[in-house]
């Protein structure tokens, strides 16, 4: 009985997470916490990206920071493109001379 209850709780948590992700997918602007959940990074990572100008922030009411979902997607996609381009670049080899 206890094992069944545990399984039900785990399934409920998965369902809740899927519902939350679905809600986030419908929004155009996200809070830092929502954006972190959507792209699976920590909030401090988002703050670094904002502080370094890699992602635009929107603060219409002063304190609360909003991120545009399309900006996040573009940022992630540009990172993937850069990673692919970096992987295609010829690598410099460090030759060691033995005397």
Taking all residues of the chain, what is their mean pLDDT, rounded to a whole number? 81
Q: Using 50, 70 and 90 to split pLDDT, how confident is the model at 99?
A: low
Q: What is the CATH number of domain 2-86?
A: 1.10.1660
Q: At what angle do helices 43-51 and 32-39 cross, to 10 degrees?
A: 110
Comparing C-alpha atoms, which of 86, 58, 83, 85 is closest to residue 72? Answer: 58
Residues for the chain: how many in total? 99
Mean pLDDT, rounded, for 47-72: 91
Percent of the chain with pLDDT over 90: 28
Torsion of CA 74, 76, 77, 81, to 10 degrees: 130
């Amino acid at each position: 009985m206890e094992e069944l209850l545990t399984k039900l709780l785990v399934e409920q948590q998965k369902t809740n997470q899927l519902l939350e992700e679905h809600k986030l997918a419908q929004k155009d602007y996200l809070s830092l916490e929502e954006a972190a959940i959507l792209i699976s990074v920590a909030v401090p990572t988002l703050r670094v990206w904002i502080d370094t100008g890699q992602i635009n922030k929107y603060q219409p009411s002063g304190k609360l920071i909003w991120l545009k979902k399309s900006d996040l997607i573009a940022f992630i996609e540009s990172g993937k493109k850069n990673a692919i381009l970096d992987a295609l670049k010829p690598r410099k080899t460090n030759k060691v001379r033995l005397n």
